[in-house]
Structure 1
Amino acid sequence: MRPLRILASTLTVTVLLTSCSNGEGTNGAATEADTMGVSEDALVIGTHQPLTGAASPGFRHVSTGARAVFDYINDNGGVHGRRIEYQVQDDSFDPAQTLKATRSLVDDHEIFAMLGGLGTPTHEAVIDELNEKKVPDLFVSSGALAWDQPEVYPYSYGFQVDYTKEAKVQSKFIAEQFPDDKVGLLYQNDDVGPSSHAGIEQYLTEEIAAWESYDPGVPELAGQVEELKKSGSDIAVCYCIPAFLGLAVLEAAAIGYTPQWVAPSFGGDVEVVTGLIEEYAQGTPAEDMPPEAFLDGLIITAFLPMVAQREDPWTEFFLGIHERYNSGTPFTDTTVYGMAQATLFAQVLMEAGPDLTRQKLLDTLNSHEWRGPGLVPFAATEEDHSGYTGVMVVQHHAGEEPEVLQEPMVTDSSGGEILPFDMERPSPGEVVLFGSGTGG
């Protein structure tokens, strides 16, 4: 069920993988391309992010979170004596702009690696070029299955749990906890839709009463939410980015539709969505209601600690960095997302050592079991580029810590079981992010 946008012949793949297996010249010295962006005292990396446009309200905090961690690392001496120079290009969640931004990063800024490029349609526009130029393309900020195709894209790696795995866990939970309820789906009309459906349909079939899609470039959901209500759906599962979850909840309230809302990790950032609801409600009857009331009871899946889980040691660690380096900005789940990406990248850099090349970075990434902020195991091997492998299920209660309804579980992107696991999660003090030592 893994989609392939490119059909590469066996010969082509073999040649590509062979060329990737050794980033050194015939005399054993690293090539100029393999050390692009690396100097004695600096390492240049880049990313494309929606700093403006429709997706900006939900995701602009990703890069501020990552930058805060890099600032923290740089203030503590950097990684093996190198400062991390983090170049962020705005693409407004527009694939054409993503292509321009990526070419600027690669050709003008000469980045060593792309880190956390955000969005499915946006990153699909540049993944071929990044792999052709052998630029490490780490931890793509999207749950699409496309990033986990090492035979086609050997330089690209996922990060967040993919849409199919997440939907599997959600749908099994709904089937078990709400067995007699009708379910309505609201989903984004790109890879989010079919990938999520592949997971949902493993546990929910006849229960699904409505399938409604939206275009992320069109901020209008009145018709879709009306159809969910007409279908009699007791559960509304919104595979939506934060801006559209907020819009959907407001539209439902306006027509007296009160389902149990369910959101995925990429859309259920309560801090962000609450702020959007407050903004959207201005000039409507809803403006007199406290915005936090609209999300009370929201069920969310998550693979990272949430900002409301203040007793989690990683949340506490990230909050300390945030308060020092991001003063005046909100501390959100998407902030933590960017911080976790930067943390994992720094772990890999530390383990790769001072003699850094692109190929050594990938070899190091493939050869370790990476543990850190994540609540579930992280997959990164030569055969598996999928990233985080499962989620927990929580319920948001306004003004309180989230209630854990189901402990973290892992699964695959096909028909495998959803299972508990055994993983020792390190504290922040046990993970080396800077200096000249090794860690991971």
Structure 2
Amino acid sequence: MERRTYAFGAIVAAMMTLTCASNVSAQKAYDTGASDTEIKIGNISPYSGPASSYATIAKAQAAYFQMLNDNGGINGRKINYISYDDAYSPPKTVEQARKLVESDEVLFLLSPLGTPGNSAIHKYLNARKIPHLFLTSGANKWDDPKNFPWTMGFLNNYQAEADIYIQYLQKNFPNAKIGIIYQNDDFGKDYLAGFRQSLGAAADKQIVAAIPYESSSPTIEPLIVSLKAANPDVVFYIATPKFVAQAIKKVGELGWKPIQIIPNTATSIVNVLIPAGVENSTGVLGASYLKDVNDQQWSKDPAVVKWHAFMDKYMPGANKADSLNMYAYVVAQVAAQTIKQSSDNLTRENIMKQAANLEMEPEGLLPGVKIKTSSIDFAPLEQLQMMKFTGAHWELFGDLLTARKR
């Protein structure tokens, strides 16, 4: 009798052990690119070509993940951040995306840069059900969870940003004649559509010139001469840093004094305003959601102090005046939070589920700006504040503005 009781107890104990082991196993779920020790993240950036100034974003993200790895990683797993150059060429973007997915077998892609390149890989990644997250592009189409549930942008979308600029003009210069130079692709056309939509019936009257350029062009300086001939009061440059710098410099050389507004993606002091000439750039307007680390008002801000310490240790020699490094720092925080929320369920489906369930205020954002997403809202950022370049730093003015719903 005693022997039978012992045997029965042993069987029960063994079953409980197996059940517990099964439960522990069930709590962990991995797709390709994730394991008990590692998470592979893919990135595509223009280390060469006309948009190469943006490459610092990938470098800063790699540095941020190295910092996390030095402190134990995320939920005990190290981040393997794999980044390739596409030279801002969509065919090359496709090639690199396939390499990351099919050869490197990453869990997801993080902030590949540019509207043209991301457009080229949009359908491919969704068909493969690969998370295509926090793109460095503000195209309106990234916020489409119904038709493209595996893609999520990060920036204020271009049409929303255009509306914020128009809100500013309608309040301060309601009858201004507007001139626009825009990149002749989805990037430029999205902004242009936003300007027209926000101006409504007044668009045809107020927009006196809208001149396209190709990203492969060596210069847009001749277009500035054509723009000046239309005699606008306000000019917008819907362009990447290299071309925005050319435009501001040429306006200065012509002795022309319009109100100049530049997109959030080209507000770098280092890559745009200094190359254009500080004397030409002073007074230029833009909008942001980030703290300007060049502005003394943030010199003792805990988040900015922490960012400086990060840059000193993990990006020695990098130019701290470049706002793209703060942008990368913020995006990396959001990516890390997405992974953290995913816990031990590191499937691609759960990564997307957590990306669509964010509510946070990463270090480096302006007060009041939040990251918020949902299953029906794939637009993490929706606020901007207007700012003016003083010749030394960006100076914020006015209230936070949110794009009007259309």
Same fold by TM (over 0.5)? yes
Match among 68, 77, 80 for residue 75 of structure 2:
80
Residue deviations 1:314-361 (CA, integer Å, cap 9, x gap): 333222211111111212111111111111011111122134222222
Which residue in the other structure is 1:124 paired with?
A: 119
Q: What's 1:343 paired with?
A: 333
Shift of 1:221: 1.4
Question: 1:77 touches 1:83 (CA, 8 Å); kept in 2?
Answer: yes
Aligned to 1:432: none
Retained in 2: the 8 A contact 1:161–1:303?
Answer: no
2:288 aligned with 1:293: no
- Separation of aligned partners in 2, 1:109 and 1:230: 52
**Counterparts of 2:71 and 2:290, CA distance in 1:** 25
Alignment of 1:17-416 (within 5 A): 35-57=31-53, 59-201=54-196, 202-203=198-199, 205=203, 206-277=205-276, 291-310=277-296, 311=298, 312-331=301-320, 332-373=322-363, 374-375=365-366, 376-399=369-392, 401-412=393-404, 414-415=405-406
- C-alpha displacement at 1:308, in angstroms? 2.2
Structure 2: gaps (5+ residues): 1-24
Cα RMSD, aligned residues only: 2.0
The Cα shift of 1:29 comes to: 6.4
Task: Say whether the 8 Å CA contact 1:145–1:386 is kept in structure 2.
Answer: no
Deviations 1:160-187 (A, max 9, x none): 0000100000011022212343221111
Secondary structure (helix, strand or coil) at the match of 1:124 reads: helix
Instruction: Give the conservation status (yes or no) of the 8 Å contact 1:181–1:235.
Output: yes
Shift of 1:403: 2.1
Gaps of 5+ in 1: 1-27, 278-290, 416-440
SS of structure 2 residue aligned to 1:384: coil
* Cα pair distance change 1:133/1:180, threshold 3 Å: closer
Give CA deviations for 1:349-387 in whole Å, capped at 9, x if unaligned: 112213422222222222332322434333422112122
| Partner Cα separation in structure 2 for residue 93 and residue 43 of structure 1 | 26
Letter in structure 1 aligned against 2:347 = T
Residues 117 and 141 in structure 1, CA contact (< 8 A), matched pair in contact too:
yes
In the TM superposition, what whole-angstrom CA distance separates every residue of 1:269-301 from its partner, at most 9, and x where no partner exists? 122113533xxxxxxxxxxxxx32221111111
CA contact (8 A) 2:357 2:372 kept: no
Q: Which has the higher helix share?
A: 2
**8 A contact 1:264–1:302 mirrored in 2:** no
Contact 1:46 1:88 in 2 (8 A): yes
Structure 2 SS opposite 1:233: coil
Measure the CA separation in 2 of the matches of 1:235 and 1:313: 37
TM-aligned CA distance change 1:95 to 1:381, over 3 Å: same
Between the aligned partners of 1:178 and 1:389, the Cα distance in structure 2 is 24
CA distance in 1, matches of 2:234, 2:358: 40
Question: Counterpart of 1:44 in structure 2: which amino acid?
Answer: K
Which amino acid letter does the alignment assign opposite residue 292 of structure 1? V
Q: Structure 1: how far apart are the matches of 2:333 and 2:70?
A: 15
Farther-moved stretch of structure 1 (372-381 vs 352-361):
372-381
TM-score, structure 2 as length reference: 0.86
SS in 1 for 2:50: coil
Structure of larger gyration radius: 2
- The alignment-based identity, stated in percent, is 26
Report the Cα offset of residue 217 of structure 1.
1.0
SS of corresponding position for 2:134: strand
